[in-house]
Structure 1
Amino acid sequence: MRTIIFSTAIRLLTPVFLLFSVYILFRGHNHPGGGFIGGLIGSIAFVFHVLAHGANATARVFFSLTLYHYPRQAGHSRTRYFMQIMNANLRGRRKGYKENRWNYIFVRVRPVYIIAFGLLLAVTSGTIGLLAGQPYMAAFWMDVHLPVLGSLGTPLLFDAGVYLLVLGMVLKMIFTMSKE
C-alpha cells in the first residue's frame, strides 16, 4: 500500500536507518553489533523504500550514477577541464554548455556487485594475516585511534565485508521478489 504519509516518512527515515546501521557496524568491536546486524538494519531502509516507491525507483535513486564528461578543448588547462567535469557531475549538466558536446556514462550498481565486493573485503581481511605469516584471520591493528571510529584493523575490514554482503543479499532478494 503506497500512501503519501508512508512515502514521506520513509524519505525522512531512510538516512536515519542508514546512519544507525553504520553506527552499529563500527560499534561491533566493543559492544553487541557488527557487520551482520548493521547490514540488516541498513537493508531495512531499502526494504521500506521499495515498499513505498517500488523497486525501479529505489534502484534509480540509490544505485544509479550518471557521470558527465566532454572532450577537452585545445588551450584549456587540465585544471579547468577537471573543475568543469567535477562541477557538472556534482550539480548536473548546465544549460550554458553546448548540449551536443556532453556525453554521459550511466552506471548502475547491482546487488550482485555489492555481494562480490563484500566477499572480497571479508576474504582480504583474512589473507592479510596469512601473508604476514600468522594464522588465517589473525587480527592486525593500526596504531592510529580515530575519535569516532576507534582503532582501525582487519576485524573492521571483515565487518565491513559482512555488512556489504548482507546488504547485497537482502537487496537481491527484495528486488527479485518485488518484480514478481
Structure 2
Amino acid sequence: MKTIILAVAIRWLIPVFIIFSLYILFRGHNHPGGGFIGGLICSIAFIFHLMVHGPQKTTSDFFTLILYHFPRRPEHSRTRHFLRLLIIQVKRKREADEEYEWLEYVISIEPVYFIATGLLLAAISGVAGLLLNQPYMAALWSDFEIPVLGKPGTPILFDAGVYLLVLGIVLKITIALAEAD
C-alpha cells in the first residue's frame, strides 16, 4: 500500500510514536503502562514505515549505521591529525581531500540484538537484589532524583528490557512476514 499521503504522514508520525512510547515506558512504574505497551507503540511506527516503503528500506533507514573513519598515518603528528580530523568532519565525505583514504564500516542492527539486549537488561535488574542479599527481582531505588524521570531504580531497568524485547520480537515477526510476501 504505497500512497503519497501515508508516506508523508508516516514521516511526521514516526517521531511522535517513538516519543510517546518513551513517555509510556518511563511512567510505567507509577501509573499504567511500562515496557510492554511502550515497546508495542514504538513498533507501530516501524510497522507503518514498513507497510509504506517495504522491509529493505525500513532496515536500511533505521537499523543500519554507516561509520566513516580514516586511519592515522605514522608520518603525521597527533595534533596535526586531530586538527585534520576536525576539519574533515566539518566537510562532507565527498568534499574531503583525495589524499586520505576513508574506511567505511556498515553495521546492521538486527531485531535479534534488541531481543538479546532486552533479556540481558531484564535479567540484570533482578540480579541487583541478589547482590544485596534480597530476593531476586527486589525493587531497589537510588537516593538521587532525575528532574523529569524521578528516582531511577531496578523496575525501570526491567521495563527497559521488556521494551527492547517486545520491540525486537514484533520487528522480527513483521520483517519476516513482509519479506515472505
TM-score by length of 1: 0.92
Go from structure 1 to structure 2 and tell me whether the alpha carbon gap of 1:80 and 1:33 turns closer, same or farther (over 3 Å shift).
farther
Aligned to 1:175: 175
Tell me which structure has the larger Cα radius of gyration: 2
Structure 1 or 2: more strand by fraction: 1
Secondary structure of the residue aligned to 1:33 is coil
Counterpart of 1:77 in structure 2 is: 78
| CA distance in structure 2 between the partners assigned to 1:13 and 1:86 by the alignment | 36
The one-letter code sitting in structure 2 at the alignment partner of 1:165 is L
Question: Deviation digits for residues 26-69 of structure 1, max 9, x if unmatched?
Answer: 01011110000000000000000100111111100110001111
Amino acid at match of 1:77: R
Task: Quote the residue 1:107 is aligned against.
Answer: 107
Equivalent pair of 2:129/2:135 in contact (CA under 8 Å): yes
Distance between the aligned counterparts of 2:91 and 2:173, measured in 1?
33
**Matches of residues 139-154 of structure 1 in structure 2 within 5 Å?**
139-154=139-154
Distance, in Å, in 2 between the alignment partners of 1:21 and 1:101 is: 41
Deviation at 1:131, TM superposition (A): 1.6
Report the alpha carbon displacement of residue 71 of structure 1 after superposing the two structures with TM: 1.1
**Number of aligned pairs?**
179
Aligned with 2:173: secondary structure?
Answer: helix
Contact 1:43 1:171 in 2 (8 A): yes
Structure 2 unmatched runs, 5+: none
- Residue equivalent to 1:125: 125
Match of 2:135 in 1: 135
Task: Quote the Cα distance in structure 1 between the aligned partners of 2:82 and 2:121.
Answer: 34
Taking a change above 3 Å as real, the CA distance of residues 39 and 97 of structure 1, as seen in their structure-2 partners, is same
AA aligned to 2:136 is Y
> What does residue 20 of structure 1 align with?
20
Partners in 1 of 2:119 and 2:87 — Cα distance?
31
SS state of the match for residue 156, structure 2? helix
Conserved in 1, the CA contact under 8 Å of 2:88 and 2:96?
no
SS class of match (1:157):
helix
Which moved further from structure 2: 134-143 or 157-166? 134-143
| Two-structure CA RMSD over aligned residues (Å) | 2.2
Post-superposition, which runs of at least 4 consecutive aligned residues in structure 1 deviate over 3 A? 78-83, 85-88
Tell me, what secondary structure is at the counterpart of 1:106? strand
Unmatched runs of 5 consecutive residues or more in structure 1:
none
